[in-house]
Structure formats: C-alpha cells, structure tokens
Structure 1
Amino acid sequence: MKKAREVLVIGGNRYFGKRLIARLVAAGDRVTVLNRGSSAPPPGVAHLVADRDDERALAEAVGTRVFDVVLDQVCYTPRQAAVARRVFAGRTGRYVMTSTVEVYEHEDSEKLVPEGAVDPAAVAVDLELPWDEPGFLESHYGEGKRQAEAVFTTDPAFPFVSVRVAHVLGGDDDFTGRLQHYADRIRTGAPVAVPPVTHPATYIHVEEIADFLFWTAGEDFTGPVNAASHGLLALDGLSTAVAAQLPGGAAVFEVTESGEVSPFAFRRRYGMDNSRATRLGFTFGDVRQWLPKAVAETLGKDD
C-alpha cells in the first residue's frame, strides 16, 4: 500500500487550487491548508491560519510539522519566497511553487519558449522594491514571480520546482471573468478591443493544471517546468469558440493603438514549449479539443 504523504498547500482555496486539494485528498494524502483564515478549507483537511508575509506568524503556525511536499499556490514576490525558504528549510522534502507564463514577458519569440529562456539562477533579486504595494505588485507580476523563483533556486534549502502555468481556461468558477468578457460582448454586440496585431498563446484547462500540479508533487525532478496544453490558440479562434455557443453571435473587433485591450488580446506571443514536461512523463491535451468544453463550463453559470 502506498504510504500517505504529508502535504501542505499554501493558498489554494479557489479555482484550480481547490481541484488540486481534492486530488490530494482522493489519493489518500494527509493534507494541510495554510491561509489567512478568510475562507475555510474543504472537508477532510487540516487548517493552519497565518499571514505568509509575517515570518514569525508563519513559523508559529507551522510549528514542528514536517512535510513531504509543500505546494505553494500564492507566492508572488521574492520577499514571500525568502520567508518561505527560511521557514521550510529542513521541513519539506519537496517544494513546488506555482509560477506563470508571465516570467517570459520579455521573450517575444516566434518559437515556443523553453524553460531555459529564463534561468532563475541568473535573475537579480531586489528585496527592497515596493512589493507590498498592490499597484506595484500588479504591474510587476511577472518580475515578482521571476525573482521569487530566483530566491528558491540560487540558495536552495530543499528540492525546488517552479511550475510555469499557461493562461487557464474552463470551469464554472472562473473568477477572472475573461471568457465571460467575450460572451457579454458577443451577446450585446459590443466591440472587443484589440491591438493592431494580436498574437497567439498557449493555454491549459483548469482540470489539466490541477492534474499537472498533483503529478508534479509525486515526481522527483527539479527546476522550472512549463505547463501548457498542446497547440497555439489565436484570439479569433477563442472568440469563434465563444460565439459558437451563443446563437446568432459574432465577435466585433475594434482596433486601438494605445488603449486598454480585451483579455487575451496579446500584443506579443505567449507560447510555451511543453516538451520538458512531456519527456518527464506528463501527457497534455490539445487546446482545440477541450476549448468548446471550457467555454460551455464558463457560460453555463449564466444559463
């Protein structure tokens, strides 16, 4: 019989995080969820309450506990990474951080971008930047993730993995409202704001990224890994998929040179190469196959 693992999930109370927790529980793992207490974790898991930015509070909440795996869903800054690195040194056999495709925001390549395009060991870390200011953090999301990866990588305290997640679609609980944005405009005939040239991106379904994180927790590889379904998806393909489930609907595009554009109307490419994860043994789906299902899931909450 497989030995139950001690697993800590930091954050993870919504969207693909809660799906990840459900998979861990179903597998027989002993799961602990740590958050600030604003929402209760699902049944069957232990609960620790602490502000992860407060090192003393985090250390007190963790106490003497030791984990086989820590799955960090909400590490956004190098300061948070530095706190976690100190607190969990010697307390986990594996640390998996949920990162983002946004770490490649400066890599505008016509080819799918591999992990080596951003080496966290070569990323400069600046703990003195105003990471606590919400506006700064929002506008430096990719940089915060890059520097967080760097903190864990350059002076490792445990085996570390950063999962660079493509844009996530699907589910009836998609809190981002991005697909709903298109549905609302197609229903009403309102224009979809786009730049003069839009570029395709790689995506991943909400269930697939939960599967991927669960799988990663049980593997032994380290370093950055891209998580994206096969296939590039352009904006017109996404809009067509939404319109197909809205009778008589069609997207109307309005070009803007400098104004705010609609979600997924990318001014640069966001395509990730998923071959490392594939070689390691994970089987991805194809975005063109699951996209209609993702749209139906998202739109179903209004029907």
Structure 2
Amino acid sequence: MEKILVLGGTRFFGKRLVHKLLESGADVTVATRGLTPDPFGQNVKRLVIDRDDARSLQAAAQTQDWDIVYDNICYSAQNALDANVAFDGRVGRYLLTSTLSVYDFGPKPLEEADFAPETYPIVPGTRADVTYQEGKRQAEAVFFQKASFPVAAVRFPIVLGEDDYTKRLHDQIERVSTGKLIGVPNPDALVSFILSDEAARFLSWLAKSDLTGPVNACSNGSITVGSLLHLIEEALGKRAVTATKTDAADHSPFGVPDSWHMSTAKAKQAGFTFNDLNDWLPQLVQKLSNN
C-alpha cells in the first residue's frame, strides 16, 4: 500500500484528490493547519502543520517515509527550501502543484520550456516577499535545482468547478445577472481552464506515471474571454456590461491583457487524456446560472 502525504488537502481539488487516492487503496495522510473540517472521517491520518515553519514541516516529514508527497501549499523559495531539507531521503517522488502563472502572457500555446526553472535565479524569500507568480517561479527553481529526490511540477491554469471556494466564475455570473461592470482588457485573449475533478484526476494519475519536471495540465481547447462572457449571457438571457479599463474591484479574474493558454503535449504523450473544454464549460456556466 502506497504511503502518500498530501500537504493541503481539505479544499477544492485537493479534497477531490484525497478521495481519488483513497479509492485507489492508498494509505493517505493529510497535513494542514487543522482549521478546515474535512469529509474523510477515519479514512485518513491527519497532521497539523504550519507550512511556513520549517520545524513544523520537518516534524511532519519525519513521521515516516513516503512514497509520494503532494504539495498544494508551496508559495515561495523558502517553502521549497524547507521541503528539500525536510524530505531529503524520505520521499520517493514529490509532486508540486504549480501554475500557469509562471509563464508570461503571449499569443502561442505555452510549453513547459517557456519557463525554465532549472536556470532561473533563486532569490531566497518568503511568500510575503514576492508576488504569486514570482513565488511559484522561485518554488520550482529551488526544487529543480536543489532537490535530492524526483520532482514533478504541475502547471494548472485557473481551476473551475461548482466547489470553487474562490467563486471566480460564480462572481462573473452574478455580475452579468445584476448588470455590474466587468473589466475585460482584451476580450479576444485566449485562456485555458481545467475542471476541479479533472485536476484531481490528473494529480492522481501523475503518481502512477514516471513523469518528472514541469508538466502542463488543462482541458483540451481554449476560449476567448469574450466567448466565456457570451456563454454567461446566453445562460442568463442578459448582456454583460464590460469595459477595457475599470477600477481593480471590477476587474474580471479572467481579464488578461494577452492570451494565456497552454499546450499539454507532454502529458498527452505520457498517456493522460484530458477533457474537452467544450464538453463541460457551457454546462458548468448553465448550472451556476440556474442557481
């Protein structure tokens, strides 16, 4: 039975991942701050950690040796450096949740080589010292330059689902419904998404693969921001009120200045089958609009 540690696994796709790992028969331990109730009952072991405290992470790591560690809560060079020390000699593979945000905007589908963490300069610091983008770049750089164990970094785009606690898509639907202004700098920008269950399915599959290094993961296809708003308009029977320049409070979470979408050729070549974006996004928009 594989011994798997999930750092941060009680919200959104992390919760779905734990369920899939349990279904596969894994021995799962979930390490969190212990503040959010989870639905796993007696099926998992639990550790309480402070991800920003190196001693806390090391204590969790040393409870046993691990076949797989999933790290959903690594946001800085320091977080990654702490993990490299804590899990040295104690883990078979380390699977880091990373992000599309490591890439700059651009018209072509982004490939893993478009951001090379192996050569990116490491600047020690905590998550308070850096932006989200820079923190994730630093985390990848530390792991791929310093880790003594195999690492894969999954670069997800925005993850959507009924269970999205950030309610990004929910908010856009509410804004169209009530006629609130939405800031969209470039309606023609292409963006990628992934469904929360699909993200969990990919992470579960990754543990069984031999992939290492950065790997992109998103649904097949992309959509313009304008087309996404049109899906919402169709579902609600109302027109969106948009502007290219707005106050920050009105800016769409999907409002990017240029395209921001990914190629998943590496994962597909390794055998993973992604969902088609058109098979789930219109239905999700309709379902959330009905609620």
Q: What amino acid maps onto 1:254 in structure 2?
A: A
Q: Is the CA contact 2:183–2:246 (under 8 Å) kept in the aligned structure 1? A: no
Residue 256 of structure 1 deviates from its aligned partner by 1.1
Over the aligned positions, Cα root-mean-square deviation in angstroms equals 1.7
* Structure 1: distance between partners of 2:158 and 2:112: 16
Name the counterpart of 2:244: 255
Residue 184 in structure 1 maps to residue 174 in structure 2: yes
Instruction: Classify 1:101/1:274 alpha carbon distance in 2 versus 1 (closer, same or farther; 3 Å).
Output: same
Residue 257 of structure 1 deviates from its aligned partner by 7.0
* Structure 1: distance between partners of 2:78 and 2:53: 10
Q: TM-score, normalised by structure 2?
A: 0.93
Task: Indicate which of 162, 165, 178 corresponds to 2:156.
Answer: 165
* Structure 2: distance between partners of 1:198 and 1:95: 37
* Structure 2: distance between partners of 1:257 and 1:61: 45
Which secondary structure state, in structure 2, belongs to the residue aligned with residue 99 of structure 1?
Answer: strand
Residue 269 of structure 1 deviates from its aligned partner by 1.5
The alignment of Structure 1 onto Structure 2 pairs a total of residues equal to 288
Residue 183 of structure 1 deviates from its aligned partner by 1.3
5+ residue gaps in structure 1?
A: none
Deviates more, 1:95-104 or 1:214-223: 214-223
Task: Indicate which of 26, 39, 43 corresponds to 2:23.
Answer: 26
1:52-201 alignment runs, 5 A limit:
52-105=51-104, 108-127=105-124, 129=125, 131-133=126-128, 136-137=129-130, 140-171=131-162, 173-195=163-185, 198-201=188-191
Which secondary structure state, in structure 2, belongs to the residue aligned with residue 245 of structure 1?
Answer: helix
Name the counterpart of 1:265: 255
Q: What amino acid maps onto 2:242 in structure 1?
A: F
- Per-residue displacement from partner, 1:56-107 (whole Å, max 9, x unpaired)? 22222333401110000111111000001110111110000000000002xx
Instruction: Classify 1:206/1:297 alpha carbon distance in 2 versus 1 (closer, same or farther; 3 Å).
Output: farther
Residue 157 of structure 1 deviates from its aligned partner by 1.3
Identity of aligned residues (%): 39
* Structure 2: distance between partners of 1:77 and 1:148: 5
Q: What amino acid maps onto 2:94 in structure 1?
A: Y
Name the counterpart of 2:32: 35
Residue 28 of structure 1 deviates from its aligned partner by 0.6
5+ residue gaps in structure 2?
A: none
Q: What amino acid maps onto 1:123 in structure 2?
A: Y
Q: Is the CA contact 1:170–1:293 (under 8 Å) kept in the aligned structure 2? A: no
Q: TM-score, normalised by structure 1?
A: 0.90
Residue 55 of structure 1 deviates from its aligned partner by 1.6
1:227-238 alignment runs, 5 A limit:
227-238=217-228
Residue 297 of structure 1 deviates from its aligned partner by 4.6
